[in-house]
Amino acid sequence: MFKSLAPPDYLATIDREKCIRCKRCIQNCGWNVYSWGGDKVLIDTFKCVKCLRCYHYCPEEAIEIKDNPTKFKQNAYWSFNNIKNIKKQAETGGIPLTGMGSDMPYPILFDNLLIDACQVTNPSIDPLREPMELRTYLGKKPSNVKVEKTKDGKLKLAEKMPPQIKLDLPIIFSPMSYGSISLNAQKVLATAAKACGIVMNTGEGGLHEDLFPYRSNIIVQVASGRFGVNPEYLNAGVAVEIKIGQGAKPGIGGHLPGEKIPLEVAKTRMIPVGTDAISPAPQHDIYSIEDLRQLIYAIKETTNYKPVSVKIAAVHNVAAIASGVVRAGADIVYIDGFRGGTGAAPSIIRDHLGIPIEHALAAVDDRLRQEGIRNEASIIAAGGIRSSADVAKAIALGADAVGIGTAALITMGCTTCGKCYTGNCSWGITTQRPELTARLDPEVFGDRLTNLIHAWEHELKEILGALGINSIESLRGNRERLRGVGLDSFTLDILGVKPAGR
Amino acid sequence: MVEINASGTYYKELNQKIRAAVEKGEKEIVLKNVNGQYYIGAGFVGSTNITIEGVPGNDLAAFMDGPTLRIKSNAQDNISNTMNSGKVIVEGNAGDVLGYGMRGGKLHIRGDVGYRVGIHMKGNKKQTPTIIVGGTAGDFFGEYMAGGILVLLGLDSTGPLVGDYLGTGMHGGMIFVRGEVDKNLCGAEVGILDLDEDDHKILKDALTDYCKDFGLKLEDIMKKGFKKLVPVSLRPYGNLYAY
Ligand code: SF4
Ligand code: SF4
């Protein structure tokens, strides 16, 4: 057979002295790197993706995965990936796919923003001794409230509040469909969402019946493929999200190949087993803001007016688009930056289309304020949130809450190897192979994800305490408490923050 | 039977009234003086029959799951959007984007339809959504079709039977067209075949019900031959990617 001229990324090696031939690496690897040769473990290093499952499960620490030293000669202009993709394309004529968010070295604005703290003149607060409010409500807020007195002299709201989603802290789990991730991975998200008082999002793969008990912590999604969507589904969660775009692949559709559609996935998506699940690039009933409004209200009519979220990718004109989305009647605008994750996307699209969430968020928040409609919808910012510091910075830039996807998957074992599109994830996350998904115990990993959210909760409270404020509401859109380092004046202007030292 | 006068009523209020009647167990509802109200029947569940007099607005029967709607005149865009089951009968013409993502039930239209009809219709073991158009259709008929049955009859029509991009991206289901099909109008993913015995049975079953709805004769319709359009591959984009 013709040997590919694209060299392997990694060299999987076994220290033969240490190896006790237990074969655990063979069982654990989803990509079949290892096989039994009669007297020793054989290695096909071309298949290795450095997900590190074998390394963690080798009892003897005999495995080492090295970056291939015999890659192409280092070249500051022609990167390894450039050359490798050209070779692959010359061999297949296809579009190279990838998974996870973009790892290209574009500037990371979050890392050029610093948060303020109190010293001397206004005291900081100790969150261990004083209450800190992180509770967040997502949905339309009235521009003013009328209050009236009841007969017994108590005050109450004169008009009904628009419907809200209650979150114990300003974090939600980003949409990841059953099909792109395993049912066990979805169960991890659901149990943690329930334990933390937040919500998860089904993505566009329908709602499996095992998730019904978590309905009050679920947002259901409607996208161009309309998989699994019927009146029962629309009414199943606390809100409905219309997916227009995704940060990792703005403007292009999704495509779950037939071989990744076993019975349970097919049942949940309400399609036949083994056929491709194609999500067209646009929703062909939405070609305008007016059309979007029509779908938003069709969903509201069907759900007796549950909140509707609209997810868009961060693109050049995002501020004007978000304004249109809010005017179309969305209760929540979900903005997904170009660093956002994906189960599968052409790498050329993931790495070169869209804009970072930091710019997009600041621009959208500004625009909605200028137009006097910021109260009409909540903003969720997503696409590369890595820590509670990113959460705090996003909220100071104007987000009501943030969405996390990759961070949640990392608690399940993910090492961001980026090979989700192969459907072989050794950690049982982005795969439907039963022997792999069985590894992901929803209870064990539900606890880990809950731990992460609680840890971030403590950190957020510490940050608020240092800022001398006791409520996340006081940080929301409060860009005065951010400073930029090493940013040019244009970027500072877009972000609406001063340079450090000012 | 209950009558609801829709004259001068905003859609939200009108739908509330219809819903209330459905919930009371009303099996026959007649809507009078409908004049462009959106979302009639959207998300309705159950087995009520609703007759609509006047022209209903967009998104009629969106997400609907069960009821039967008969529209005594023309209807507008986005009928049966993502419908799950039930039936919509339109005695006149209808607009664009009909049956988008439709998964089950029937949409019978006596007259002509606009663009983008039957896009991404899908079926599964238990459900076969069916759209039958009596007259002509515009561009993108059956685009991205993943399942179900689309029938185009071209009865008493003089203009062109169907527009461009017929069945583009089709990867499931079948389209029956009465008369000849110009290959140049079809997407690359479509094959044009003659009907076999099974196809005849499927088509006859669908048309028998259609004829009953409009008082037509099956023999008259079957006098002219049909062509069947099916996807040449269930995986139209199978070779697109490099792994
Ligand atoms: S898991 Fe480690 S010790 Fe066991 S066979 Fe593989 S390399 Fe050897
Ligand atoms: S989910 Fe699995 S395949 Fe995807 S990056 Fe993480 S470890 Fe790799």
The count of CB pairs under 8 A between chains A and B is 134
* Whether residue A386 has pLDDT greater than 80: yes
- Give contacts of A275 with chain B, Cβ < 8 Å: 146-147, 171-172, 234
Cα dihedral A51, A54, A56, A58, rounded to 10, equals -170
Q: Are strands A308-313 and A239-243 parallel, antiparallel or unpaired?
A: parallel
pLDDT tens, per residue, chain B with 243 residues:
999 999 999 999 999 999 999 988 899 999 999 999 999 999 999 999 999 999 999 999 999 999 999 999 999 999 999 999 999 999 999 999 999 999 999 999 999 999 999 999 998 888 999 999 999 999 999 999 999 999 999 998 778 999 999 999 898 999 999 999 999 999 888 999 999 999 999 999 999 999 999 999 999 999 999 999 999 876 666 667 776
- ipTM, 2 decimals? 0.91
The preferred substitution site among A13, A20, A64 for testing ligand 1, maximizing ligand atoms within 8 Å of CB, is A20
Q: What is the pLDDT of residues A320-368, one digit of tens each?
A: 999 999 999 999 999 999 999 999 999 999 999 999 999 999 999 999 9
What's residue A212's pLDDT?
96
pTM of the model: 0.94
- Which residue has tokens 């521009």? A143
* Whether residue A259 has pLDDT greater than 80: no
CA–centroid distance, residue A5 to ligand 1 (Å): 29
Three-state DSSP class for residue A210: helix
What's residue B243's pLDDT?
64
Mean pLDDT (chain A, rounded):
94
Q: Where do the structural domains in chain B lie, given as residue ranges? A: 1-79, 93-236
Query: Which residue minimizes the CA distance to atom 4 of ligand 2?
Result: A420
Query: Which residue minimizes the CA distance to atom 3 of ligand 2?
Result: A420
Radius of gyration of chain A (CA): 24
Indicate which of A91, A204, A270, A342 best probes the interface with B, i.e. most B CBs within 10 Å of its own CB. Answer: A270
* Whether residue A26 has pLDDT greater than 90: yes
**Which helix (H) or strand (E) is B88 found in, with range?**
strand B85-90
Q: What is the pLDDT of residues A391-431, one digit of tens each?
A: 999 999 999 999 999 999 999 999 999 999 999 999 999 99
User: Which token pair is A277?
Assistant: 């699940």
Which chain B residue has its CA at the smallest distance from A420's CA?
B243
The CATH classification number of B93-236 equals 2.160.20.60
* Whether residue A236 has pLDDT greater than 90: yes
Residue A410 CA: nearest ligand 2 atom is 6
- Give contacts of B238 with chain A, Cβ < 8 Å: 257, 276
Kindly report the backbone phi and psi dihedral angles of residue A484, in degrees, each rounded to the nearest multiple of 5, phi listed first: -100, 145
Record: contact B242-A97, CB cut-off 8 A: yes
- Which residue has tokens 């997400």? B63
- Specify whether the CB–CB gap between A361 and A394 falls below 8 A: yes
| Residue among B43, B101, B116 minimizing CB distance to A231 | B43
Q: CA–CA separation, A33 vs A45, rounded Å?
A: 6
Q: CA–CA separation, B241 vs A93, rounded Å?
A: 8
Residue A24 CA: nearest ligand 1 atom is 1
Closest-CA distance of chain B to residue A284, Å: 7
CA–centroid distance, residue A418 to ligand 2 (Å): 6
CA–centroid distance, residue A29 to ligand 1 (Å): 11
Q: What is the pLDDT of residues A54-104, one digit of tens each?
A: 999 999 999 999 999 888 788 889 988 899 899 989 998 999 999 999 999
Q: CA–CA separation, B223 vs B212, rounded Å?
A: 17
Q: Dihedral sign, CA of A87, A93, A98, A101? A: positive
- Specify whether the CB–CB gap between A217 and A450 falls below 8 A: no
- Specify whether the CB–CB gap between B12 and B32 falls below 8 A: no
CA–centroid distance, residue A86 to ligand 1 (Å): 35
Q: CA–CA separation, A331 vs A375, rounded Å?
A: 9
What's residue A181's pLDDT?
96
What angle do helix axes B11-23 and A289-302 make, rounded to 10 degrees?
30
* Residue A209 Cα distances to A54, A126, A170, A177, angstroms: 33, 44, 27, 14
What single DSSP character describes residue A169? S
Q: Dihedral sign, CA of B107, B112, B117, B118? A: positive
- Which residue has tokens 């004083």? A130
| Residue among B43, B120, B234 minimizing CB distance to A234 | B43
Residue A53 CA: nearest ligand 2 atom is 7
- Model confidence at A1, in pLDDT bands (50, 70, 90)? very low
Nearest to A206 by CA among A139, A138, A256: A256
Q: B144 Cβ partners below 8 Å, 6+ apart? A: A278, A280, A284, B119, B120, B168, B169, B170, B171
What's residue B236's pLDDT?
62
What's residue B188's pLDDT?
85
Q: Domains, chain A, ranges and CATH?
A: 10-94 (3.30.70.20), 170-499 (3.20.20.70)
Ligand 2 in contact with A428 (CB < 6 A)? no
* Residue A178 Cα distances to A175, A230, A265, A308, A343, angstroms: 10, 17, 7, 21, 11
| Residue among B64, B146, B239 minimizing CB distance to A94 | B239
Q: CA–CA separation, A198 vs A170, rounded Å?
A: 8
The preferred substitution site among A54, A430, A436, A440 for testing ligand 2, maximizing ligand atoms within 8 Å of CB, is A430
Q: What is the pLDDT of residues A194-215, one digit of tens each?
A: 999 999 999 999 999 999 999 9
Query: Which residue minimizes the CA distance to atom 6 of ligand 1?
Result: A25
Chain length of chain A:
502
Which chain A residue has its CA at the smallest distance from B168's CA?
A280
Q: Are strands B241-242 and A95-98 parallel, antiparallel or unpaired?
A: parallel
**Any idea which ligand is nearest the CA of A15?**
1
| Residue among A91, A225, A301 minimizing CB distance to B42 | A301
- Specify whether the CB–CB gap between B161 and B154 falls below 8 A: yes
Percentage with pLDDT > 70 across chain A: 100
User: Which token pair is A1?
Assistant: 């057979």
CA–centroid distance, residue A407 to ligand 2 (Å): 12
- Please return the burial class of A125, using the count of CB atoms within 10 Å of its CB with bins 0-12, 13-18 and 19+: buried
Record: contact B103-A272, CB cut-off 8 A: no
The preferred substitution site among A22, A39, A65 for testing ligand 1, maximizing ligand atoms within 8 Å of CB, is A22
- DSSP result, B178-215: ES---GGGB-TTEEEE---HHHHHHHHHHHHHHHHHHT
Closest-CA distance of chain A to residue B57, Å: 11
Ligand 2 in contact with A417 (CB < 6 A)? yes
Q: What is the pLDDT of residues A454-498, one digit of tens each?
A: 999 999 999 999 999 999 999 999 999 999 999 999 999 999 999
Three-state DSSP class for residue A323: helix
* Whether residue A500 has pLDDT greater than 60: yes
Q: What is the pLDDT of residues A136-154, one digit of tens each?
A: 999 999 998 899 999 998 9
